[in-house]
């Protein structure tokens, strides 16, 4: 494995070029046309059988070596976020208001690095399925690929994912059994009042005041309804209303991220969001509409596959850089839907002391590129020995 790591370290410059290209040209969820074409072109050049358009922009690249009937799936995501990057990078985003601030460009570059090495060496016995997935940020990509026959058209025995995580030691691996990440529900609440002049509030119905009260009321849901030993959160990430200080707006829109880890808590929390929204709107004489987005799912790692993947990582990188059990989070991942269909596991690779993902100043640690690629190669060789 030392030789493989050295070869991938020698290829870091090329992986960095792929990474920087994708970082300069980010595309939002379900609009990743050019990124998908870039990825597919690389894979075809290395001799993979490439299927595009799986779940709109998804890609599955397959290669079979030897006579084994075993197959493994490796997944990376490649969509960007609707956030303005605030960095002075030489390769910063060229698209205003859109940037790779979650590291999906790094995830894709790592899997491409592994793909190139596996195609060149062919040191495995079985079938490798490389899954490049769109629209992770909106929870649309994995369900779309599954509906389009991901696991029926491209049979595999197990599927694996990986994500970088700021705050964890760079280049080190973290594995967790069972529930690792939360289900998410992204909702939008629109309150409608009666617009008017700021000097005459008595002639208006102010949705900003109603929305401010609703924001605070929503914060009582977890604090006073969810058992303290459970985990859940209700975040109001956007409050949109009005354009001038002397105008009472007609509408106010709240965008929520609701995260839970059990079906019972999800039902409870979502029910409370509905009832509190209704009563708060009534209190302020507003009407309201709740728009529910694509729901997520709890990400559940298979314990046996997690132990096996961690053991392979230890053999490849050493005991000291592999952590099992590792941390769990209330973040969400639509890879959870893949793990509902196939056994497998999702691990984290530390990104060091950087801003958190989704922060305008977040930066993916490029030194992780050959390390992550080496993990994928080790996993393939361990499973398809």
Catalytic residue among 136, 177, 206, 302: 136
The structural domains of the chain, with segments of one domain joined by +, span: 2-181+298-383, 183-292
Residue 104 marked ligand-binding: yes
Residue 359 assigned ligand-binding role: no
Residue 358 annotated as binding site: yes
CA terminus-to-terminus distance, the chain: 14
Q: 58-65 and 49-54 as β-strands: parallel, antiparallel, unpaired?
A: antiparallel
Do the beta carbons of residue 251 and residue 240 sit within 8 Å?
Answer: no
Closest CA to 383 of 162, 118, 150, 146: 118
Give the chain's residues under pLDDT 50: none
pLDDT given at position 1: 66
| Residue 136 is a catalytic residue | yes
Q: What is the pLDDT of residue 26?
A: 98
Q: How far apart are the C-alpha atoms of 338 and 144, rounded to whole Å?
A: 11
DSSP string spanning 299-350? Answer: EEE-HHHHHHHHHHHHHHH-GGGEESS----S---THHHHHHHS-EEEEEEE
Q: Out of 79, 206, 265, 365, pick the active-site residue.
A: 79
* Phi–psi pair at 90, nearest 5 degrees: -70, -15
Among the listed residues 89, 71, 92, the one whose alpha carbon sits nearest the alpha carbon of residue 80: 92
Span 235-287, pLDDT tens digits: 999 999 999 999 999 999 999 999 999 999 999 999 999 999 999 999 999 99
- Per residue in 58-91, pLDDT tens? 999 999 999 999 999 999 999 999 999 999 999 9
Task: Name the CATH architecture for the domain at 2-181+298-383.
Answer: 3-Layer(aba) Sandwich (3.40)
Whole-angstrom distance, CA of residue 261 vs CA of residue 298: 6
The structure tokens listed for 123 are: 């040191």
Task: Please check if 286 is assigned to a binding site.
Answer: no
**What CA–CA distance (Å, rounded) separates 284 from 133?**
44
The CATH T-level fold of domain 183-292 is: Alpha-Beta Plaits (3.30.70)
102 is in an annotated binding site: yes
The span from the CA of 296 to the CA of 306, in Å, is 22
Closest CA to 60 of 85, 45, 40: 40
177 is catalytic: no
């Amino acid at each position: 494995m030392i030789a493989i790591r050295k070869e991938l370290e020698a290829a870091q410059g090329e992986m960095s070029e792929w990474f920087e290209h994708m970082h300069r040209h980010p595309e939002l969820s379900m609009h990743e046309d050019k990124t998908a074409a870039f990825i597919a072109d690389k894979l075809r050049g290395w001799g993979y059988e490439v299927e595009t358009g799986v779940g709109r922009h998804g890609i599955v690249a397959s290669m079979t070596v030897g006579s084994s009937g075993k197959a493994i799936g490796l997944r990376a995501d490649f969509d960007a976020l609707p956030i303005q990057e605030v960095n002075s990078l030489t390769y910063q985003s060229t698209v205003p208001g859109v940037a790779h601030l979650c590291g999906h460009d790094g995830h894709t570059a790592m899997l491409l690095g592994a793909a190139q090495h596996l195609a060149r060496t062919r040191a495995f016995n079985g079938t490798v399925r490389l899954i490049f997935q769109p629209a992770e940020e909106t929870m649309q990509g994995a369900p779309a690929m599954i509906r389009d026959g991901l696991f029926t058209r491209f049979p595999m025995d197990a599927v694996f994912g990986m994500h970088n995580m700021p705050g964890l030691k760079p280049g080190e691996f973290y594995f967790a059994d069972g529930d690792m990440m939360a289900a998410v529900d992204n909702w939008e609440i629109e309150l409608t009042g009666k617009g008017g002049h700021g000097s005459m509030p008595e002639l208006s119905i102010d949705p900003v005041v109603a929305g401010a009260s609703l924001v605070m009321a929503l914060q009582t849901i977890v604090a006073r309804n969810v058992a303290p030993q459970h985990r859940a959160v209700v975040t109001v990430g956007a409050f949109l209303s009005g354009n001038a200080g002397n105008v009472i707006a007609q509408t106010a829109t709240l965008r929520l991220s609701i995260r839970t880890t059990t079906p019972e808590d999800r039902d409870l929390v979502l029910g409370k969001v509905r009832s509190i929204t209704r009563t708060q709107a009534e209190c302020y004489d507003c009407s309201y509409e709740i728009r529910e987005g694509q729901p997520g799912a709890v990400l559940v790692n298979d314990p046996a596959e997690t132990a096996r993947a961690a053991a392979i990582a230890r053999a490849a990188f050493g005991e000291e850089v592999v952590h099992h059990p590792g941390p769990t989070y209330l973040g969400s991942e639509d890879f959870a839907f893949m793990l509902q269909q196939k056994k497998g596991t999702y691990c984290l690779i530390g990104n060091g002391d950087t801003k958190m993902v989704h922060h305008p100043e977040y930066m993916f640690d490029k030194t992780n590129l050959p390390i992550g690629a080496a993990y994928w190669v080790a996993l393939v060789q361990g499973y398809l020995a």
